[in-house]
A and B are shown apart, each in its own frame.
Chain A
Amino acid sequence: MPVEVILPKVDMDMATGRISRWYVGEGATVKKGDLLFEIETDKAAMEIDAPASGTIRDISGKEGIDIPVGEAVAWIYAEGEATAAKPTQEAPARPIALNETAPAAAATANVPEVVSAKAVNATPSNGTRATPLARRLAAGAGLALDAIAGSGPKGRIMRRDVESAMTAPKVEVKAALWPDQIISRPPASSQPRPAPQLSAGAAPLNFAWLRQGEGRPIVLLHGFGADLNSWRPMLAAGPVDAPMLALDLPGHGGSPRQTPADLDAVAVDVEATLAALDVGPVLLVGHSFGGAVAATVAARGDADVRALALIAPAGLGPEINGAFLQGFVRAKSEASLMPWLRQLVVDEQVLSKPFVNATLAQAADTELRTAQADIADRFFADGTQTFDIRSLITGLRIPVRVIVGANDRIIPASQSQGLPGEVALHTFAATGHMPHVERREQVLKILLEMARA
């Protein structure tokens, strides 16, 4: 009997949801726990893992359309299982509500033994199955357990489920984490900044509005080997009232798999994308390689960059961890990837399962990693940063802040020394190459301050 993959209820008052992105395609072989797709509601984004191992078939949940909660979006067939085993469509689609009682499930006796039954059986709050650790983490983050879908046996909520919920939480909940600030938020009915509805052809790079809001947009450029999703953990760290636009750099994420000739070529693509989206004046933020791109864009002056934030930027000195670049690009399995990911951070606990899964999903894309190996060869040949952004920064007349981790093992923190006096330098102790992940609350606060200034 194939296992049904449903659109889960990730939010208490959620009736429908959208799949923003499938990580696997029709016919793909998945293992239980592999990342399948990402759901976005108006408040939350959550990554959904495979409930069983097997082959994905009958993907009916298309990206970007509203799908009722509880509806089957795909099926997982065990090896050798005939596709005809799938029940016919007349089996009623059952909305899965967490406070629904068991008889509702009994009424659908024809429905195969489905994973979604766990959600039906779950009862609110005190009856919820959750590990002690999950309970403690959820309490600490102000998350209600009955709003979290459990992935463990019999729907037990585990650490990974709470962490997924924390990565893309409800805004109201997260506000509790930031008690020293009351953010006045327009009610949902007021007009947020509309997401530009341009055809993708006009913008050379893939992009996503990760948050909407009022005020100056914050444009985010990820680092080497990452993609626009790498900013999501930071956005979950606190209330965000500014619009956030994230781009995929060339050779990364959903952007064309090409190797740009130099930083100017990347900058041209970024500028064209910002122009196509008509974003107006922006705060430009770049991490690592994206930092070098951001500085280049700011220096060229074609885009309206009003402030620049560079997080662990490349291009401030010659040395970079060449072994990391090579090892990271080559790693295909969790076992070979984890040692390199650990190089990125001081506190390994921040390497959450969704983060690792997302990185693994990219690692499985051979064409993507091949393109990135080319980019590494071009920009970081022989463990050396072949470009210099110091002179670019020195000539800028906009506010510039550099944010680094003192214990960066990819690009030494010492390279951030000796910048012009008007450039602000934030150095976080006990932090590695990803301050926006390890010190997400503080970095987000800095960026929002800059956007409001």
Chain B
Amino acid sequence: MDQAVRELSYAQAIQEAMAIAMETDERVFLMGEDIGVYGGAFQVTGDLVERFGADRVIDTPISELGGAGVAVGAAVTGLRPIFEFQFSDFATLAMEQIVNQAAKMRYMLGGAVSVPVVMRFPAGSGTGAAAQHSQSLEAWLGHVPGLKVIQPSTPYDAKGMLLAAVADPDPVMIFEHKLLYKTKGPVPEGYYTVPIGKAAIRREGRDLTIVATSIMVHKALDAAKTLEAEGIDVEVVDLRTIRPMDKETVIESVKKTSRLLCVYEGVKTLGVGAEVSAMIAESEAFDFLDAPIVRLGGAETPIPYNPELEKATVPQVPDILAAARSLATGSR
């Protein structure tokens, strides 16, 4: 059956995915602060409360720990909750439920239960929301066995990966960059999934591999266009999932290009790019490296409020250009 493809924003694609999930599976429901009549902090749930009612689009009190506990408990009893955080920074308030309960229960109960909960985290900087509302904490959760952690970068993937997350028997954490919500892209109507744990090659190239996550994929693609005119042919790998990581795609890409640049918004030290770098250094791709691996990550500082300083703390296109040039020309 042919499915019409429209241009939707990233936020609209997520809303559509949640609507389809609720239409096709009566166990699915939404929870979160101000997701009902208000439509969500970033208007992602929108008018879903009018379509599905307050029983399935539930406003929760201002307690992330309480809300996450209810969601995890509901999942254990067989429901399929999708819990929205207002800001990913507030994951810190719910760590007990995410890390000690959701991630552990299948293991501690010998496989007797599953925890099919989905948690959505608006993440990242660029909105002037300062230090407590702008972080990229995906590596925190990516460090926990038992969780799956994804970072869709396009509207198409946002919808397909959310539907894959709902269908997944284990807890899936979705980090949605706030600046992506208004970006548009083609999205088919109806139900489809994009697999968790599979990276996407957004651009093929032969001189240099850039492994990027979330909004950095778009910055890397911008940089790749400029570099193409300079004769530097960049391959851009969108990691999409940070746990479980698609090692094979990254390894094959590095074997082809011999150069690796990791670009991610989270703090550079102990971040996603650190894991990608170490994984490549341990892999068969090591013997194909023709230059040191380079990481571009967030600065070692809380995100500042001042807009110029805020921009300066995360990798921007000129930073990617400079790093890629020095890598590709062999001067570093």
A interface with B by C-beta (< 8 Å): 32-33, 131-136, 151-153, 158-160, 333-335, 338, 348
Contacts and interface: CB of A to CB of B under 8 A. Distances in A.
Interface stretch (B38-46, B235-243, B282-290, B307-315): B282-290
Nearest to A135: B287
Nearest to A162: B290
B229 A159 contact: no
Given A136-B287, A153-B331, A158-B290, A335 B206 contact: no
B206 A159 contact: no
Contacts of A348: 206
B231 A159 contact: no
A interface SS class? helix
Given A335-B229, A335-B230, A132 B286 contact: yes
Given A132-B286, A133-B289, A152 B229 contact: no
Given A32-B331, A151-B330, A131 B289 contact: yes
8 contacts: A33-B330, A152-B291, A152-B330, A159-B290, A160-B330, A335-B228, A338-B231, A348-B206
B interface SS class? loop
A433 B312 CA distance: 49
A33 B329 CA distance: 8
Interface in B317-332: 329-332
Which of under 10, 10 to 19, 20 to 34, or 35 or more describes the interface residues of B? 10 to 19
Contact of B288 (A32, A132, A158, A335): A132
Given A33-B329, A151-B330, A152-B330, A133 B230 contact: no
10 shortest interchain CB distances as A-B pairs: A334-B231, A133-B290, A335-B231, A159-B290, A136-B287, A131-B290, A132-B289, A132-B287, A152-B330, A133-B258
Contact of A131 (B228, B233, B291): B291
B35 to A, nearest CB: 49
B15 to A, nearest CB: 42
Contacts, number: 44
Nearest to B289: A132
A69 B27 CA distance: 79
Interface string B256-272: 00100000000000000
Given A131-B258, A333-B231, A335-B228, 12 more contacts: A32-B331, A132-B288, A132-B289, A132-B290, A133-B258, A133-B288, A135-B287, A152-B331, A158-B291, A158-B330, A335-B229, A348-B206
A131 B289 CA distance: 6
Contacts of B290: 131-134, 158-159
Contacts of B286: 132
A133 B229 contact: no
A135 B286 CA distance: 11
A151 B290 CA distance: 12
A145 B229 CA distance: 34
A7 B230 CA distance: 30
Which of A32, A132, A153, A338: most chain B Cβ within 10 A? Answer: A132
A385 B229 CA distance: 33
B158 to A, nearest CB: 34
Nearest to A159: B290
Contact of A153 (B228, B287, B332): B332
Contacts of B288: 132-133, 136
B229 to A, nearest CB: 6
Contacts of B229: 335
Contacts of A158: 290-291, 330
A159 B230 CA distance: 20
A133 B229 CA distance: 26
A151 B228 CA distance: 24
A327 B332 CA distance: 33
Contacts of A160: 330
B86 to A, nearest CB: 46
A338 B229 CA distance: 11
Contacts of A333: 231
A348 B256 CA distance: 11
A335 B226 CA distance: 11
Contacts of B231: 333-335, 338
A338 B332 CA distance: 24
A406 to B, nearest CB: 23
Contacts of B291: 131, 152, 158
A159 B329 contact: no
Contacts of A152: 291, 330-331
A335 B291 CA distance: 22
